[in-house]
Amino acid sequence: MLRLLFFICSLFLSLQFVNAQERKIYLGLNYGRATQNSFPLNDPDYSYDNQYLKVQINYPLTFKENFNFELLIEPSVYFANHKLLNEQFVLPTTENYLELREKFTKRRAFEEYALNIGILVRYNVFSNFSSYLLGSVGPMISNEDTERLRRGFAFSDILGLGFSWKQKRILFDFRLTLRHNSNLNFASPNKGHNSFGIESGISFQL
């Protein structure tokens, strides 16, 4: 429910400011890598990592001297790898549990397609350097099952901490992210996947 509320509020804010003064909209491309198998996550039951590409759109909502709020829109594709490490995670009470254990304990590659929408809070440290926090949520489609998440529709939740350096009309970006995928119990299983990532990118002012 909180995910849906955050998603709706983000869209509402964008509509409220659409007729405001001229916006310095940035359009760019980010590349990143993420894994579950490292601090602060490192669940011993499974291995999950990915690399990803995302189109990034930053739409300013406020124009303050130090703090600014921006609407963040990120269509993304994730190239993921998964393997069940603890076969006992699939319980004997599960139908066809031996078949599922054999299937999920083999490393498999699949894709996830997501559209995250959220809010970025930026602090301007200097005229050309800033730090920021972001939170976003959006629908996601995965094309494979795992023992933790049914393929098909789910949600992608992201929290991030980043830094930007501006050079004329170009914005160079670096950030750390925590991501969680699950489906609000629309289908079973729904333990979800977690990953910690590092990404960088470049955006251009339109």
| Interval 121-133: pLDDT, tens | 999 999 899 999 9
Mean pLDDT taken over the chain: 91
- pLDDT of 136 > 60? The answer is yes
Identify the pLDDT of residue 19.
Answer: 46
Amino acid at residue number 109: A
Q: Give me the phi and psi of 164, to 5 degrees please.
A: -130, 145
| Interval 36-55: pLDDT, tens | 998 899 999 999 999 999 99
% helix, strand, coil for the chain, step of 5: 15, 55, 30
pLDDT band at 63 (very low <50, low <70, confident <90, very high): confident
Name the pTM for this structure: 0.87
- Alpha-carbon distances, residue 7 vs 44, 56, 136, 155, 165 (angstroms): 32, 17, 8, 11, 28
User: Domains (ranges, CATH) in the chain?
Assistant: 2-205 (2.40.160.20)
In angstroms, rounded to a whole number, what is the distance separating the alpha carbons of residues 162 and 121?
10
